[in-house]
Amino acid sequence: MDEMTFKENMAYLSAAYSQELTPEKAAVYWDQLGQMLDEPFTEAVLMAVGHCQWFPSVAELRRFYSDRMYHRRMNSQTVIEHKAVDKAKAKAILAELKRELGKRPA
């Protein structure tokens, strides 16, 4: 994550919870969350403000981040188009398989 994105989001959390962020606490949050992607992290922060009564812990922000990443993956999956099935051909193949299996010794 970009350091500026992190600082902006931590300032947002500080304002939302009327809580000053100490340099030590900011360093821990950066150490634990700095590898996250910018946009889903910002979304996680917004979710936290909407759901948490108190300043969110690292674990809470991770949970919201994971939720955002899950939804991104689900929304980005490609829909596979299925080809029309030739039922007569499928039945013929199944019949052939049954014949072949019937010829095998038990």
Structure tokens at 8: 């902006």
Has residue 23 got a pLDDT over 70? yes
Residue by residue, DSSP assigns the chain as --HHHHHHHHHHHHHHTT-PPPHHHHHHHHHHHTTS-HHHHHHHHHHHHHH-SSPPPHHHHHHHHHHHHHHHHHHHPPPPPPPPP-HHHHHHHHHHHHHHHHHS--
Cβ neighbours for 65, distance < 8 A, ≥ 6 positions apart: 33, 36, 40, 41, 44
Domain locations along the chain = 3-76
pTM passes above 0.75? no
- The 10s digit of each residue's pLDDT in 25-80 is 999 999 999 999 999 999 999 999 999 999 999 999 999 999 999 988 888 765 55
